[in-house]
């Protein structure tokens, strides 16, 4: 068969086919007479030799790439046992067969190219192909064991080989080889078939996995085993998209992170790089980041270069296409195959560019994510080592900002930083292309652009200063809002709502929205410059071109030039943004560097040694040591201390406020800087700080604190710390969630909780900072007996207690008196009493003052000056603990402790086994910012909508925005888009005219009209933006904010108790910000892009009507993809934002408890916890950025199809001589090339609109909150003089705090006569404070009512009621502002009245000395007044109120003895003689002289009579008096 074919018959119709070779006139290495080509001289096709160049190139790449793949597989992937199956054999057999057929082809070629085969390239191509097949065979052989997915090199090899084969096959058919040389053609066809089969086997049939991999990890990220095509198209995201489309995604649906993205891994990499930097004198964070994460980033840069170059190939192809179409008007039309090639090339370029671009994006985003995670971990672990010097200059808020804001800046920079070189590169490419098109006249356009840059810069500067001003306004509003929320109770009690609403509205409407209007106008102007720039550029360029050059301005110049100008706007717009991002990032880098290099704790301050074994051995020793809080200042905290504590002993440290008690404990912990001397601690430490530090977790987690769970000892601890009764009253026992900063516990409970944590830790050395001052006397006694004393749980431990509690001193083994940082006296109790020194005096005065061993608070006010030394920010969260302690009594009803229950346990645990640390099993507490489970104590879960936002929300927003204005806006939008399209159409007409004339007639007319179109479009654009901002958006946000603020002010108190302040603040800050600034912008972008895409489709359809048929299927596909994406992306974004806030919350919490964490040596556990939380956030963040890529790749594919279709249809239409003009094709194509961008934007904006409209929904939700009773009931207003008598009666009154809780007051019947002085007593939680709440209707009655002067208070408005009663609350709420605002926010009273009340409140002198007198500034929370002065301010407020009834919720801990005495005398003075005074007492001695006393017990009135009578009855009151050792005082006062 073969022989009969060898002679090339002369009758052959084809003289120069693929298999022809001649010795004559041939080019080197090519036996064919057509030579190397590449295009054959005789027909529109490649020459035979050139066809094989393609195949040879693929084969060479296969050999090189295959070698690389083999090396990679051997070095990086360990082999695993995988069974061989049919798939494995089928692939290898197919390759074997292919090698065979290729060898057969080579043999045939030797036969055909007689004598010259050795010098013919076509023969060597076959040989190279055989070699490359051998290499690929080997790769596919070893990948069976070493890889879970098909190798990328192999897949690309088969893909390209098939494409090259297909080109060759087409050429062979066109040369009609299948007629002449059947044998070769058949063999070649078999090869093509085998290659296709192999490609399918390798790519689409899944590999057999090893048994280990087959078990697999459900949550493993599919990226790990995705093949190269899946990576390029992001198909590995599809399962997640599908799941998100079917159900709402939750945290459990998310994949685990890839190993290289986990915080552990990135933190280690960064840590290593940073340590390397720290060896230098000036460490650079930039270099550390580059060293740790630079690799993928620079690979991204290479990919980006490729994508940029391809971007500028499109206009060149467009030019070829237009000249192709144009050739059909002449007599030599170009062959159709050339047009097809151009269209396919456009498609391929578009697709490749998409693939490259998104690989680059993915790398940038991953780098950003890694930088943020690693810096977060680095900042956290640094904060565990910060010394006081390091902490002093930085408040907690600042440090949290480093983690929240500065790392975010760096992440943003990583995402867009590449533009810094890429944008100039694009601009240069663009200039070159334009120069090639237009020659020198392109500089006119460039000049126009350059002129616009400073203009835009100037606008940007104005914007920036406006934004800064706006930030100030926002801060002012947020601060005011925070104060309002923190002091809501006081605002309601004082009936000040209207005053505060007007203050809020002033800041909001007169300052914030005014600035916002300016911002809107600037925005409109900047839009104008942006939208005119492309027009000015093209106008000037074409104008100069027409005037200076003698070429005709034809379609094939105009449209490529327009496309290039469009490409140019992006890099020009992005450059200034990147530069500002770099500036911001460098500021952030500076701040983070200064934090990471801040001073750390002194390592050798404390020597830690092993624990001692026997009682009496020394376990803490301080020798001749001096310490300071700040080593850069002279001031020392402690001088020349000598101190030692022994195992099994209790050492007490006493001294006045600010004498250094806490400092001594901190010195033993190693928190202070040691100047000289030595400190030795033997064994583990446990520490109870003065300000109890409680984590936002369950009570049990707070006690166990990372140690192993031991139920028996836990129960013992709880009993000893007197917590069992508390557990029985907490809603969920020890599983109760403690809110932020322990908000649901009272102060005493928090103190005992931290003590329990220390006891449970079973350490060797206990450092207790005044844990008795926050608890009631009888509880204190219990703690002394069961924990601290010689018979307590800790009897065998070393205990160092800083205290002022006298009873404890009697039990202690050593007492040390500190005075101004020096040890003044030390010895046992008896020695010191005998010495008659300072301590003896202290004890004596304390005993006299209360005639008892009651806790002397004379020298210990909880808010001591010491706090200022710790470097806490003034007015930090700590100050609120007291208010919370009391505010929280609602939730905690402590049953009275039975006296003497400590006597049962005599046996003392001499030495307790030490608590071993539990291993870290994932985090404590919640990773999400959501509450779950059926626990009652949880705060109400924040309502977060799942799924689509209802249309009604959009409708509501449009209504609030003013529907007429919205209509105008849409009309103008269409107008401006039509004008801009009109400009392009005019340009097309002009260039066609020029083409016909071969010159440029009527220049002025054409340019003028073109210019008019451009400017008109831009002008409409400005008006549209102005309407949108000023009439729609700002109107809407003003109304929405007003409605929400009003609703919040009118909400009943229980709303604020069940909703964390942060959540409400969030609505007022971030949600309102979105409504103010983001929403309008997003809507605008959405509408503009939708209009653009619509016009594009119209233009393409106008040029080639066939295209209309494609619109429907493409549109359907587009909507389908978009719906998929919308659902998933929305849930992923939600998961991302929900899981972000716990990171910061946990960080803030750890910062405030750092000394505790260090004392228990738990830094590692907390760092792990932080990493865990960051990972939980990244698990949502990574899919959400990948989902964006997934979408973009698919949409750009649709865009590429549109390009292919519009080019293809144009070619078909021209070829069938429809007379389609080149101008029309140019116009359609220049729009088609832009459509991908518009399509992409539309989906992005839809998602953004959806995410941001949620803010409107949340604001509307709060605007519809249920409100309390009306302020004023006009039909029922009390007489002006009411209450003139001041008689109060409770009639069968019961109430609860809120629906679903138990009654706190049950059937109370009380009659209080006018002008009586009444004391209210009872144990914690008996309902004392509830009585006040009931009187002021902060809580409404469940049944019964309160009447004042025989007027039922439930029938009148709240404002009328509350403004006629006076109260001095437990916590004096002071606001930022002047003193006048604080006394009289409504500005109703004049100066003389104010001065007279200040006189009575003993504040006159102090106020007179302040700068500004009545207008003196008060800081937030009143932090520049002492606690006592704050209390006096609230006394002054009470004096201002025109009332005959005064309620005194007695302040316990805040006031020192002298102020207390002053208050008491003022209250007993003539001013108050004819007022009814109701005192809620915590200290019995202050109410012994009342007329009558109400004793409450568990919400009922147990006793109500005069003090003497009650003592005689020997009931509950007698018990309380006896416990306080005041019986003697009673007898004295009666006699």
pLDDT in tens, 1259-1275: 888 888 888 878 788 88
Distance CA 663, CA 686 (A): 16
What pLDDT, on the 0 to 100 scale, is given for residue 24? 66
What pLDDT, on the 0 to 100 scale, is given for residue 1451? 55
What pLDDT, on the 0 to 100 scale, is given for residue 216? 66
Cβ contacts of 1173 within 8 Å, gap of 6 or more: 923, 927, 1139, 1142, 1143, 1146
Residue 619, SS3 per DSSP: strand
> Which H or E run includes 1320?
strand 1317-1321
- Using alpha carbons, select from 1202, 1206, 1146 the residue that is nearest to residue 1174: 1146
CB distance 536 to 412 below 8 Å: no
CB distance 596 to 274 below 8 Å: yes
How deeply is 1237 buried, as exposed, middle or buried, from its count of CB atoms within 10 A (0-12, 13-18, 19+)? middle
- Using alpha carbons, select from 352, 445, 230 the residue that is nearest to residue 1190: 230
What pLDDT, on the 0 to 100 scale, is given for residue 267? 93
Distance CA 644, CA 623 (A): 8
What pLDDT, on the 0 to 100 scale, is given for residue 912? 53
Alpha helices for 1050-1162 (secondary structure H)? 1053-1058, 1061-1066, 1072-1073, 1079-1103, 1108-1152, 1154-1159
- DSSP track, 905-927: -----SSPPPPPBPPP-S-SS-S
CB burial string 566-587: b at 16+ within 10 A, e below: bbbeebbebbeebeebbebbee
Alpha helices for 487-496 (secondary structure H)? 488-493
What pLDDT, on the 0 to 100 scale, is given for residue 374? 93
pLDDT grade for 913, boundaries at 50, 70 and 90: low
What tokens were used for 423? 């944008």
For the chain, the helix, strand and coil percentages under 3-state DSSP, each to the nearest 5: 65, 10, 30
Distance CA 51, CA 861 (A): 94
What tokens were used for 341? 């090639």
Backbone φ and ψ of 673, nearest 5°: -85, 125
What pLDDT, in 10s, does the model give residues 380-413? 999 888 887 777 667 677 787 888 888 888 988 8
Distance CA 250, CA 1136 (A): 11
* Cis peptide preceding 1283, ω within 30 of 0: yes
Cβ contacts of 906 within 8 Å, gap of 6 or more: 791
What pLDDT, in 10s, does the model give residues 1053-1070? 878 777 777 778 878 887
- Using alpha carbons, select from 1056, 1072, 994, 1171 the residue that is nearest to residue 375: 1171
CB distance 419 to 578 below 8 Å: yes
Distance CA 172, CA 863 (A): 95
What tokens were used for 876? 């930090």
Region of poorest pLDDT, from 652-656, 1113-1117, 1169-1173: 652-656
What pLDDT, on the 0 to 100 scale, is given for residue 1521? 78
What pLDDT, on the 0 to 100 scale, is given for residue 350? 93
CB distance 640 to 625 below 8 Å: yes
What pLDDT, on the 0 to 100 scale, is given for residue 902? 36
How deeply is 175 buried, as exposed, middle or buried, from its count of CB atoms within 10 A (0-12, 13-18, 19+)? buried
What tokens were used for 1100? 């393409």
CB distance 158 to 61 below 8 Å: no
What pLDDT, in 10s, does the model give residues 119-167? 788 888 899 999 999 999 999 898 888 888 888 889 999 999 999 999 8
- Using alpha carbons, select from 1198, 1039, 1046, 1054 the residue that is nearest to residue 1118: 1198
| C-beta contacts of 475-484 below 8 A and 24+ residues apart | 476/507, 476/511, 477/504, 477/507, 477/508, 477/512, 477/1068, 478/1065, 478/1068, 478/1069, 479/1376, 479/1420, 480/504, 480/507, 480/1376, 481/1065, 481/1068, 481/1069, 482/1061, 482/1065, 483/1375, 483/1376, 483/1420, 483/1421
What integer is the mean pLDDT of 1361-1377?
A: 78
What pLDDT, on the 0 to 100 scale, is given for residue 481? 83
Top mean pLDDT of 555-564, 917-926, 1400-1409 is at 555-564
Using CA atoms, how far residue 221 sits from 229, 255, 368, 370, 1410, in Å, is 16, 5, 19, 16, 64
Which residue did the predictor score with more confidence, 616 or 868? 616
Distance CA 433, CA 428 (A): 9
Strand 814-819 and strand 798-802: pairing?
A: unpaired
For the chain, the straight-line distance linking the first and the last C-alpha, in angstroms and rounded, comes to 142
- Whose tokens are 């601690």? That residue is 681
CB distance 1136 to 1188 below 8 Å: no
Region of poorest pLDDT, from 780-794, 1094-1108, 1229-1243, 1477-1491: 1477-1491
Handedness of CA 141, 146, 150, 155 (dihedral sign): negative
CB distance 707 to 917 below 8 Å: yes
Which residue did the predictor score with more confidence, 1475 or 1456? 1475
Neighbours of 1392 (CB within 10 A): 7
What pLDDT, on the 0 to 100 scale, is given for residue 949? 67
What integer is the mean pLDDT of 1110-1132?
A: 86
- Mean of all residue pLDDT scores within the chain: 81
pLDDT grade for 825, boundaries at 50, 70 and 90: confident
Residue 998, SS3 per DSSP: coil
What tokens were used for 462? 């104005």
Q: Is the pLDDT of residue 1367 over 50?
A: yes
What pLDDT, in 10s, does the model give residues 702-747? 888 888 888 898 898 888 888 888 888 777 777 877 766 666 677 7
What integer is the mean pLDDT of 836-863?
A: 53
* Cis peptide preceding 38, ω within 30 of 0: yes
Backbone φ and ψ of 900, nearest 5°: 80, 15
Cβ contacts of 926 within 8 Å, gap of 6 or more: 932, 1142
Q: Is the pLDDT of residue 1332 over 90?
A: no
Using CA atoms, how far residue 211 sits from 88, 222, 587, 876, 1496, in Å, is 16, 18, 52, 57, 71
Neighbours of 117 (CB within 10 A): 17
- Using alpha carbons, select from 1484, 1481, 1493 the residue that is nearest to residue 1521: 1484
CB distance 1326 to 1519 below 8 Å: no
What pLDDT, on the 0 to 100 scale, is given for residue 1456? 57
> Which H or E run includes 284?
none
| C-beta contacts of 898-906 below 8 A and 24+ residues apart | 899/778, 899/1523, 901/782, 902/782, 902/785, 902/786, 902/791, 903/785, 905/786, 905/791, 906/791
Using CA atoms, how far residue 419 sits from 406, 568, 1254, in Å, is 20, 13, 32
């Amino acid at each position: 068969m073969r022989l009969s074919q060898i002679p090339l018959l002369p009758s052959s119709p084809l003289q120069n086919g693929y298999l022809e070779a001649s010795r004559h006139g041939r080019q080197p290495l090519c036996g064919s007479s057509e030579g190397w080509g590449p295009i054959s001289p005789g027909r529109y096709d490649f020459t035979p030799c050139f066809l094989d160049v393609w195949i040879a190139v693929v084969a060479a790449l296969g050999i090189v790439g295959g070698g690389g793949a083999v090396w990679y597989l051997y070095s990086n992937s360990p082999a695993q046992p995988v069974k061989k199956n049919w798939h494995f054999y089928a692939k290898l057999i197919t390759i074997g067969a292919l090698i065979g057929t290729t060898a057969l082809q080579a043999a045939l070629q030797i036969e055909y190219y007689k004598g010259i085969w050795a010098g013919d390239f076509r023969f060597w191509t076959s040989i190279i192909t055989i070699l490359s097949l051998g290499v690929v065979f080997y790769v596919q052989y070893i990948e069976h064991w070493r890889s879970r997915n098909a190798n990328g090199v192999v897949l690309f090899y088969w893909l390209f080989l098939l494409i090259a084969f297909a080109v060759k096959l087409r050429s062979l058919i066109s040369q009609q080889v299948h007629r002449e040389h059947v044998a070769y053609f058949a063999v070649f066809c078999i090869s093509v078939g085998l290659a296709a089969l192999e490609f399918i086997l390798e790519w689409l049939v899944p590999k057999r996995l090893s048994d280990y991999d087959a078990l697999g990890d459900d949550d493993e990220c599919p990226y790990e085993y995705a093949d190269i095509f899946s990576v390029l198209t992001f198909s590995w995201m599809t399962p997640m998209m599908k799941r998100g489309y079917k159900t709402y995604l939750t945290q459990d649906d998310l994949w685990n992170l890839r190993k290289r993205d986990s915080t552990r891994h990135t933190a280690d990499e960064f840590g290593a790089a940073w340590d390397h930097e720290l060896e230098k004198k000036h460490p650079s964070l930039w270099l550390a980041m580059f060293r740790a994460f630079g690799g993928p980033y620079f690979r991204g840069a290479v990919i980006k270069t490729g994508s940029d170059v391809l971007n500028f190939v499109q206009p060149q192809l467009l030019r070829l296409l237009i000249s192709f179409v144009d050739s059909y008007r002449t007599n030599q039309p170009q062959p159709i195959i050339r047009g097809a090639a151009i269209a396919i090339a456009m498609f391929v370029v578009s697709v490749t560019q998409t693939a490259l671009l998104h690989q680059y994006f993915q790398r940038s985003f991953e780098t950003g994510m890694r930088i943020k995670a690693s810096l977060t971990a680095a900042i956290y672990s640094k904060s565990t080592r910060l010394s006081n010097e390091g902490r002093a200059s930085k408040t907690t808020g600042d440090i949290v900002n480093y983690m929240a804001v500065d790392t975010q800046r760096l992440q943003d920079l990583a995402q867009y930083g590449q533009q810094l070189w890429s944008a100039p590169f694009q601009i240069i490419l663009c200039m070159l292309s334009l120069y090639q098109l237009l020659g020198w006249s392109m500089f006119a356009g460039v000049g126009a652009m350059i002129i616009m840059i400073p203009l835009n810069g100037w606008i940007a500067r104005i914007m920036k200063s406006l934004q800064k001003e706006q930030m100030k306004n926002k801060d002012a509003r947020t601060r005011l809002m925070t104060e309002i929320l923190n002091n809501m109770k006081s605002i309601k009690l004082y009936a000040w709502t209207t005053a505060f609403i007007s203050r809020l509205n002033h800041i909001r409407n007169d300052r914030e929205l005014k600035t916002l209007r300016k911002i809107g106008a600037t925005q409109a102007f900047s839009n104008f410059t942006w939208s005119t720039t492309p027009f000015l550029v093209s106008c000037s360029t074409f104008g100069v071109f027409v005037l200076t050059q003698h070429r005709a301005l034809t379609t094939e110049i105009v449209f490529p030039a327009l496309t290039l100008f469009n490409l140019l706007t992006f890099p020009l717009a992005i450059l200034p943004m990147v530069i500002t991002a770099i500036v911001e990032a460098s500021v952030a880098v500076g701040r983070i560097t200064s934090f990471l290099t801040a001073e750390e704790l002194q390592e050798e301050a404390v020597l830690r040694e092993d624990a001692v074994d026997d009682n009496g051995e020394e376990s803490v020793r301080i020798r001749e040591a001096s310490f300071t809080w700040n080593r850069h200042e002279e001031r020392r905290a402690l001088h020349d201390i000598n101190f030692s504590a022994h195992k099994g002993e209790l050492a007490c440290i006493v001294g006045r406020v600010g004498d250094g008690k806490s400092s001594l404990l901190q010195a033993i912990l190693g928190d202070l800087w040691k100047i000289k001397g030595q400190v030795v601690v033997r064994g583990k430490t446990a520490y109870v700080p003065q300000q109890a530090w409680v984590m936002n977790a369950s009570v049990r987690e707070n006690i166990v604190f990372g140690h192993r769970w031991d139920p028996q000892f836990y129960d013992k601890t709880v009993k000893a710390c007197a917590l069992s009764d508390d557990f029985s009253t907490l809603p969920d026992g020890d599983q109760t969630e403690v809110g932020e900063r322990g908000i649901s516990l009272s102060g005493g409970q928090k103190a005992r909780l931290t003590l329990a944590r220390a006891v449970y830790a079973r350490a060797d050395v206990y450092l207790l900072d005044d844990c008795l001052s926050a608890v009631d006397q009888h509880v204190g006694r219990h703690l002394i007996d069961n924990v601290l004393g010689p018979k307590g749980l800790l009897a065998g431990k070393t205990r160092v207690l800083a205290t002022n509690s006298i009873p404890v001193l009697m039990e202690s083994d050593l007492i040390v008196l500190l005075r101004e940082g020096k040890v003044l006296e030390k010895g046992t109790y008896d020695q010191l009493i005998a010495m008659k020194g300072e301590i003896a005096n202290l004890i004596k005065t304390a005993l006299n003052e209360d005639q008892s061993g009651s806790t002397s608070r004379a020298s210990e006010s909880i808010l001591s000056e010491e706090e200022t030394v710790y470097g806490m920010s003034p007015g930090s969260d700590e100050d609120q603990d007291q208010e919370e302690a009391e505010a929280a009594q609602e939730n905690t009803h402590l049953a009275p402790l039975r006296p003497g229950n400590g006597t049962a346990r005599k046996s003392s645990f001499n030495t307790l086994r030490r608590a071993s640390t539990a291993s870290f099993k994932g985090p404590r507490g919640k990773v999400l910012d959501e509450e779950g489970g059926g626990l009652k104590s949880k705060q109400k879960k924040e309502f977060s909508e799942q799924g689509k936002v209802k249309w009604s929300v959009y409708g509501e927003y449009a209504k609030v925005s003013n529907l007429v204005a919205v209509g105008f806006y849409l009309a103008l939008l269409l107008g401006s888009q039509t004008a801009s399209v009109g400009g392009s159409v005019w340009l097309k007409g002009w260039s066609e005219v020029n083409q016909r004339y071969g010159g440029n007639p009527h220049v002025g007319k054409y340019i003028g009209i073109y210019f008019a179109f451009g400017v008109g479009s831009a002008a409409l654009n400005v008006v549209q933006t102005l309407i949108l901002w000023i009439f729609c958006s700002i109107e809407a946000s003003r109304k929405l904010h007003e409605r929400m603020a009003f609703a919040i002010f009118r909400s009943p108190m229980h709303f604020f108790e069940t909703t964390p302040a942060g959540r409400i603040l969030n609505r007022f800050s971030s949600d309102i910000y979105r409504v103010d600034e983001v929403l309008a912008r997003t809507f605008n972008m959405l509408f503009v892009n939708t209009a653009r895409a619509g016009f594009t489709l119209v233009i393409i359809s106008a040029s080639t009507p066939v295209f209309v048929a494609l619109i429907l299927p493409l549109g359907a596909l587009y909507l389908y993809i978009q719906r998929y994406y919308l659902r998933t992306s929305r849930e992923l974004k939600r998961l991302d934002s929900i899981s972000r806030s716990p990171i910061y919350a946990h960080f803030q919490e750890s910062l405030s408890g750092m000394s505790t964490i260090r004392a228990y040596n738990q830094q590692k556990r907390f760092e792990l916890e932080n990493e865990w939380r960051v990972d939980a956030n990244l698990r949502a963040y990574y899919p959400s950025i990948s989902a964006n890529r997934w979408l973009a790749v698919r949409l750009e594919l649709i865009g590429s199809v549109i390009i292919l279709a519009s080019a293809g249809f144009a070619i078909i239409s021209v070829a069938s001589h429809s007379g389609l003009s080149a101008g029309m094709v140019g116009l359609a194509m220049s729009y088609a090339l832009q459509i991908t961008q518009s399509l992409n934007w539309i989906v992005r904006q839809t998602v953004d609109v959806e995410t941001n409209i949620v803010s409107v929904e949340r604001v509307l939700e709060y605007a519809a909150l249920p409100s309390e009773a009306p302020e004023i009931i006009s039909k029922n207003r009390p007489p002006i003089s009411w209450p003139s008598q001041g008689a109060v009666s409770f009639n069968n009154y019961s109430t609860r705090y809120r629906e679903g809780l138990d009654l706190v007051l049950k059937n109370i019947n009380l009659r209080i006569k006018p002008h009586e002085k009444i004391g209210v007593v009872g144990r914690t939680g008996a309902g004392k404070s509830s009585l006040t709440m009931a009187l002021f209707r902060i809580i409404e009655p469940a049944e019964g009512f309160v009447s004042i002067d025989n007027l039922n208070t439930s029938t009148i408005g709240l404002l009328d009621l509350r403004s006629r009663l006076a109260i001095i609350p437990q916590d004096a709420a002071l606001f930022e502002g002047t003193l006048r605002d604080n006394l009289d926010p409504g500005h109703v009273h004049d100066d003389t009245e104010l001065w007279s009340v200040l006189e009575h409140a003993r504040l006159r002198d102090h106020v007179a000395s302040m700068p500004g007198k009545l207008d003196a500034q008060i800081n937030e929370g009143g932090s520049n007044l002492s606690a006592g002065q704050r209390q006096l301010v609230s006394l002054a407020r009470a004096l201002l109120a025109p009332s005959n009834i005064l309620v005194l919720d007695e302040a316990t801990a805040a006031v020192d003895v002298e102020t207390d005495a002053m208050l008491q005398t003022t209250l007993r003075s003539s001013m108050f003689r004819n007022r009814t005074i109701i005192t809620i007492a915590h200290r019995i001695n202050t109410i012994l002289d009342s007329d009558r006393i109400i004793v409450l017990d568990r919400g009922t009135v147990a006793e109500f009579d005069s003090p003497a009578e009650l003592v005689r009855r020997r009931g509950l009151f007698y018990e309380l008096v006896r416990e306080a050792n005041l019986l003697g005082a009673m007898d004295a006062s009666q006699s």
